[in-house]
Structure 1
Amino acid sequence: MKKAVFLLFSILSLTSCTFTEDIYINPDGSGKYTLDMDGSSMMAMVPKDSVRNEKSIDSVFSFKEVFAAKKDSIAKLSKEEQEKLKKLENFNMRMKMDYKAQQFLFSMNTDFKNVTELQDAMANMNAFQSMGKNKVGANAMASPESFGNNNSILKYSYNGKKFTRKAVIDKSRIKKVENDSLAESYKMIYASSKYVIKYHFPKPVKSISNTAALFSEDRKTVTIEYPFNEYMDAPEKLNFEVEFTK
């Protein structure tokens, strides 16, 4: 199993992935957040002989259950790391790796009472790595010091009249990432991958500040697609403000 996972992540550096940030907002401001990664395109490149005896994986777990089982280890972490873990308690994660169907999917999701609860969920995954849980997967999918980190803190707001998505550059992270040789190995992934934003609102959109946005027929769904390297190098390009019809 370890051999197959290592091989898959090695091939990942030569193929493209699609990341989709999906948010549903209800009339009362509550909703659901999902971050998906589809790396299925790389499965076709995996030599069949190398995974002939490997079993497919379809694993789903909640962080709250994991944290309960790891409470002794968590107690040894710093207060800052424990607070990061606390923010992940309501998240669920799924990893599906099917060699025959050539699927490789990774997803994490959570429900929220207010969209402001979603503060850089991807970055907080690094706290989970501190417990020593599957470091290969954690590094590749969610580590702020390596893959997927664009040195920003992501903030959302919604008050029924306006919605904003704003990435603020966090200068305290930049030096760490620049000194991380692992980050260099992901540049090939960034160049061929894409980042998709898909937000579903309870009201039709009147206007949006991002000119790259596409609308559904009822104007309640907004989709923005960017090359992943642009998302990494200039996260503010995905900032926008939405105004709704009355």
Structure 2
Amino acid sequence: MKKIRFAGILALGLLWVSCHFTEEIHLNGDGSGSIALQFDGSGWMSDSTLLGGRQTRVDSVIRFAEVLEQRQDLSPEEREQLEQLRPYQMRMISDPETGEGSFTLSREFRDIGEVGDTFNAFQNAGALDKEKGGTPMGASKEAQPSTEVSYSFAGSRFTRRSVIVDSMLHQQRLDSLAGGDSFLVGSTYKLQIHFPSRVKSVNQDKATLSIDGKTLYLEADLVQYLKSPEVLDLEVELEQ
């Protein structure tokens, strides 16, 4: 497994440049589909230390299911953490010449209800030990979630809900952002959801729709989302 050099970038207290997350869901009528979370890190491409000194374009894919099969030297704790990433793959693109830089964590699903919090999964992927060729660092405090997101799709109703599951840990992470908010000015978390039929109603006034009415867009300030994840909660009713 190739070395991963984005652990520091994803630590909530260490985000020091403007960045953008886009959560994109393609949903089929039977509830199956795909989800991808892209981190646009073009802002840090000028820092060669984050790229390991590389000066050439990199476009690589890590499939975590393959890592689990190939790595027989993982401890039980490491394997347990990596098992949470089994359905996912991570694509990394970095190009020092053009300034392009992104990480995309994606997976397919048979039922969107089986999809957990992809943002937490993204941070767990970022907790892979870059000095050990991608071995998880174990059940570190940074890898433990303080929030969870759940999805459901039944009949013509879609929901996305966020809850704070560990208020003390959540507050600790918010405290770690204190004084660093200014570095995140302009950073965003966007939702882009493609539905199998037109949207009839949505509970978010700020949500917008595509011309055909089948794609919903919603955006929040990243700091606001980190503090109050419910700002991106959705209840959507589709036309039948």
Question: TM-score by structure 1 length?
Answer: 0.77
Pair 138,195 (structure 1): closer, same or farther in 2 beyond 3 Å: farther
Pair 212,127 (structure 1): closer, same or farther in 2 beyond 3 Å: closer
Aligned to 1:145, the other structure's residue is in SS state helix
Superposition CA RMSD, Å:
3.8
Q: Equivalents in 2 of 1:53, 1:133: separation in Å?
A: 15
Report percent identity of matched pairs: 31
Q: Which amino acid aligns with 1:92?
A: Q
Pair 84,242 (structure 1): closer, same or farther in 2 beyond 3 Å: farther
Q: Equivalents in 2 of 1:226, 1:117: separation in Å?
A: 25
Pair 6,154 (structure 1): closer, same or farther in 2 beyond 3 Å: closer
Aligned to 2:223, the other structure's residue is in SS state helix
Q: Equivalents in 1 of 2:204, 2:116: separation in Å?
A: 21
Q: Equivalents in 2 of 1:6, 1:130: separation in Å?
A: 8
Aligned to 2:73, the other structure's residue is in SS state helix
How much does 1:88 deviate? 1.8
Equivalent positions of 1:78-227 (< 5 A) are 78=77, 82-125=79-122, 132-133=129-130, 145=142, 151-171=146-166, 174-175=168-169, 178=172, 187-227=181-221
Of 218, 227, 230, which aligns to 2:224?
230
Pair 39,245 (structure 1): closer, same or farther in 2 beyond 3 Å: same
Residue 38 of structure 1 corresponds to which residue in structure 2? Answer: 40
Residue 57 of structure 1 corresponds to which residue in structure 2? Answer: 58
What do residues 175-206 of structure 1 show as CA deviations (whole Å, max 9, x unaligned)? 37617986558644433300100000001110
Residue 76 of structure 2 corresponds to which residue in structure 1? Answer: 77
Q: Equivalents in 2 of 1:84, 1:53: separation in Å?
A: 29
Of 19, 22, 31, which aligns to 1:17?
19
List gaps (5 residues or longer) in structure 1.
Answer: none
Identify which range, 180-189 or 117-126, moves more after superposition: 180-189
Whether the aligned pair in 2 keeps the contact of 1:32 and 1:112 (CA below 8 Å) is yes
Pair 67,128 (structure 1): closer, same or farther in 2 beyond 3 Å: farther
Identify which range, 124-133 or 233-242, moves more after superposition: 124-133
Q: Equivalents in 2 of 1:2, 1:120: separation in Å?
A: 21
Whether the aligned pair in 2 keeps the contact of 1:87 and 1:124 (CA below 8 Å) is yes
Pair 138,159 (structure 1): closer, same or farther in 2 beyond 3 Å: farther
Instruction: Spell out structure 1 runs of 4+ moving beyond 4 A.
Output: 50-53, 81-84, 125-131, 179-186
List gaps (5 residues or longer) in structure 2.
Answer: none
Pair 229,116 (structure 1): closer, same or farther in 2 beyond 3 Å: same
Q: Equivalents in 2 of 1:134, 1:121: separation in Å?
A: 24
Aligned to 1:207, the other structure's residue is in SS state strand
